[in-house]
Structure 1
Amino acid sequence: MMASAPMVPRKASFPPASLLHSKRLRLAGWGACGVLFALAVARAGSASLPARPRHLSESERAAEGRLGAAEEPRWRKDAMHRFPGDRWSQDDDFHASERNWALGVSRRRDVPPEDVFRAIDEDLRAHPVEPPRKASASPSKPRPFYD
């Protein structure tokens, strides 16, 4: 007869398998989820709404539109210096300058940016478009490579 190797006691698994499959544990998990869901719904329901934003009046929009129009020649000139001969990039740079200006006005006056862009749009429609202003886009000409 062969001598048998000494038996090494097995470590008990934690948590016991019977506990993992217990109905009580599953119910406790679902209960915890339910309580957390109820807390989230209560918190969301009791939150205060943000204040309605102030909007530019018609006269304020007209004034901001004229201020934006006065800045356009400088933005166009800067764009022409940055991208000589590339009209599409000039337009892109111009619109980046216009956007930065509009966001700055929006922050200073505590109004939505849409109001400032609306002021620019209304000014373009109210006054004839003469150079250096333009109300059209340059055709897109993708570059063969990008740096």
Structure 2
Amino acid sequence: DPVVVLDFQSLYPSMMIAYNYCYSTCLGRVDQLIEQTEFSEFGCIGLEVRKQLLYKYRNDIHISPNGVVFLKDYVRKGILPKMLDEILETRIMVKNAMKMNNKKQNPSKGLNRKLDARQLGLKMIANFTYGYTSANFSGRMPCVDVADSIVAK
């Protein structure tokens, strides 16, 4: 049987960018928003989303498979998606610099090692961002709703 191999470059960061998953765009879980009478638990804080706000943005939200509501990026671009977008663009620039160095007659091996370390560091920062959203024990801003939305796709 034929097998298709899919290799996604920076899968979790790309999903966070594509669906605008962030602390700053998360409105909470659908079930909590519907029956909300006062503050809902959101990560390590309380969150209150007014019914008028929900109605106003009813066509401008994305509901993740695990039932968490996020504003779309044209309403408010999330901080994490902005940050990840810049990190991934910078990584592409560094990788292009490596390619240009390799095309030279006498490529600098030292420069290549530095550029490779830099692009790997950028890759790790981008990938660790997902883990940071769910780090209950050591993270400063744990929010399982955001983290679960990323892996629920």
Question: Could you state the TM-score of these two structures normalised by the residue count of structure 2?
Answer: 0.25
Higher share in helix: 1
Greater relative contact order (CA < 8 Å, ≥ 6 in sequence):
2
Instruction: Compute the TM-score of the two structures, normalised by the length of structure 1.
Output: 0.26
Larger radius of gyration: 1
